[in-house]
Amino acid sequence: MQRIENLMKAKAIELLENGTVNRVLGWTAGDFYYDNTPAIFNSKEEIEKSFVYNSFCGANLSKYLVKERKNEGKILVFLKPCDTYSFNQLVKEHRVNKDNIYIVGIECQGHLSIEAIKAKGIDGVVGLEENGEEVTVKSIYGDKTVVRGEVMLEKCLSCKSKKHVAYDELIIVNEMPEADSMKRFSKVAELEAMTADERFAFWKSELSKCIRCNACRNVCPACTCTKCVFDNPESGVDAKANADKFEEKLFHIIRSFHVTGRCTDCGECSRVCPQNIPLHLINRKYIKDINEFYGEYQAGADTESKAPLTAFTTSDIEPGSNLKEGK
Amino acid sequence: MQEINKEYQPLIVAFCCNWCSYAGADLAGSSRLSYPANVKIIRVPCSCRVNPMFILKAFQRGADGVIMCGCHPGDCHYTTGNYYARRRMTLLFDMLDYLGIEKERTRVEWVSAAEGVKFSNVMNEFAAKICELGENKRLEDLRCKE
């Protein structure tokens, strides 16, 4: 990882100095080893001082480009394979200007979840040493070795692709593991197999945890409306804590429906949720349905194809006809 | 349970497109065909106008069932509106089912302006189904109840 970070730093400094770009979008070190934050770097000094890339850089940087579109000059951005899908989707929706962006695709071995590490009883993390499947977590209480697959972010455990779909150049040192995109739907299928009562109980317990912090909306690369219905006090559904049992359902159903066919399944919603609600399961259900009803479709795989909800065929299936009888 | 349901009057919201289904409802009326009085019709310019939020809002405000009626596929006044609506509703209703809301509470039916009989049959059938299911407890908003 250290090697990639150094390569990235060198690349960023090189492109800044030769004038290709005037700023760099990457991750800056936070107060702790594991809370790296997306940040803009304007100079060589800033990069040398705080630029960081390690296995706690799970954030998808593509959404930050929407805001950066307003600023002059070209920007350098580091994107992981899954982030490039979000990038393509933003290009498709004319939310970013491709000509003003220089993409360096970076290697991704799957990012780690600090919650999962803490759940293993490891506190006070100060560093990582990675050796393939084995990760040695260094903490103020000593070192502990864990298996990578056990402490990865949910979105990385069910990685959809390790292929960069948009980039100007790549920085890849080690070979990346193969991704099995169909694995993503196993939990959805599991829920589908339950009875309606069980599903309702499951979602009630999950969604009622929602505190309406709007983090899922703010981080979502598909949620780029400048005016959001959930910010409009006239709508009757504006941001508020769920005072009743309907509020959170409406928010999550509408939000996920709005990104249907545009959601690239980057998994950011679940990653940022402070209540650990498995929001990706809602989006994945839509993706699974679209794949089943209207043919395989991966949002962000290209910038030209028509989104499933803006297209139709005369022989589409009838609403409700796929559903089983009974409660 | 059966005892209660005899007394129980469900509230049903029907979104009807202006060009076919609303005219179909009109025909049902002028042909003196009966359909349950607790079906509240909301006229929309096209089935495509039905925002998923409308459906959820109807449930929130106490509807026990929501039905969307439009022109038969291929007969849309705006040529293609109902094709888009069909995809949307397929996904939305599947999602509601996935979240555990009984799938019988939602329905899409294509009713043309000449199908007064179909309109009345569909509404009778749907109302009977909702009566059987009883009150909508899963999507209501308590603040909207008296």
Contact, A38 vs A99, CB < 8 A? no
Q: Contact B87/A308, CB-based, under 8 Å? A: yes
Kindly list the residues from chain B whose CB atom is less than 8 angstroms away from the CB atom of residue A242: none
Q: Which amino acid is at A219?
A: V
Kindly list the residues from chain B whose CB atom is less than 8 angstroms away from the CB atom of residue A313: 83
Q: Contact A293/B90, CB-based, under 8 Å? A: yes
Q: Contact B140/A246, CB-based, under 8 Å? A: yes
pLDDT (0 to 100) of residue B1: 43
Number of Cβ pairs < 8 A linking chain A and chain B: 120
Q: What range does the domain containing B17 cover?
A: 11-137
Determine the average pLDDT of the residues in A36-44.
94
Contact, B66 vs B38, CB < 8 A? no
Domain residues of chain A, as ranges? 2-110+160-171, 181-310
Sequence-distant (≥ 6) Cβ neighbours of residue A34 within 8 angstroms: A56, A112, A114, A117, A125
pLDDT digits (tens, 9 = 90+) for A302-315: 998 889 999 999 99
Specify whether the backbone of A7 is left (phi greater than 0), alpha (psi in -120 to 50) or beta: alpha
pLDDT (0 to 100) of residue A177: 82
pLDDT (0 to 100) of residue B9: 86
In a domain, B58, yes or no: yes
Give the residue on B whose Cα is nearest the Cα of A321.
Answer: B90
Report d(CA A162, CA A299) in Å as an integer.
Answer: 15
Report d(CA A272, CA A153) in Å as an integer.
Answer: 11
Is pLDDT of A242 > 60? Answer: no
Taking any CB pair shorter than 8 Å as contact, residues of chain B touching chain A are 52-53, 56-57, 59-60, 73-74, 80, 83-84, 86-104, 106-108, 133, 138-143
Kindly give the confidence (pLDDT) of every residue in chain B, 146 residues in length, as a single tens digit, with 9 standing for 90 and above: 445 455 778 999 999 999 999 999 999 999 999 999 999 999 999 999 999 989 988 988 889 999 999 999 999 999 999 999 999 999 999 999 998 888 889 999 999 999 999 999 999 999 999 999 888 878 776 555 54
Mean pLDDT of chain A: 89
Interface test with chain B among A204, A246, A314, by most B beta carbons within 10 Å: A246
- ipTM reported for the complex, 2 dp: 0.88
Q: Is the CB of residue A286 less than 8 Å away from at least one CB of chain B?
A: yes
Neighbours of A280 (CB within 10 A): 26
pLDDT (0 to 100) of residue A114: 92
pLDDT digits (tens, 9 = 90+) for A58-89: 999 999 999 999 899 999 999 999 999 999 99
Determine the average pLDDT of the residues in A172-185.
83
Is pLDDT of A178 > 90? Answer: no
- Indicate the helix (H) or strand (E) that contains B54: helix B52-60
B19 forms bridges with which residues in the sheet? none
The domain spanning residue B39 has which CATH number?
A: 3.40.50
SS3 labels along A87-156? HHHHHHCCCCCHHHEEEEEECCCCCECHHHHHHCCCCCEEEEEEECCEEEEEECCEEEEEEHHHCECHHH
Of A199, A237, A294, the CB nearest to B99: A199
Contact, B77 vs B48, CB < 8 A? no
Specify whether the backbone of A160 is left (phi greater than 0), alpha (psi in -120 to 50) or beta: alpha
**With bands split at pLDDT 50, 70 and 90, how would you rate the model's confidence at A326?**
very low
Report d(CA A248, CA A259) in Å as an integer.
Answer: 17
Number of domains in chain B: 1
pLDDT digits (tens, 9 = 90+) for A10-34: 999 999 999 999 999 999 998 999 9
pLDDT (0 to 100) of residue A325: 52
**With bands split at pLDDT 50, 70 and 90, how would you rate the model's confidence at A176?**
confident
In a domain, B132, yes or no: yes
Contact, A107 vs A79, CB < 8 A? no
pLDDT (0 to 100) of residue A231: 85
Kindly list the residues from chain B whose CB atom is less than 8 angstroms away from the CB atom of residue A286: 91, 95
pLDDT digits (tens, 9 = 90+) for A193-229: 999 889 988 988 888 888 888 899 999 999 998 888 8
Specify whether the backbone of B100 is left (phi greater than 0), alpha (psi in -120 to 50) or beta: left
A144 forms bridges with which residues in the sheet? A137
% chain A with pLDDT above 90: 63
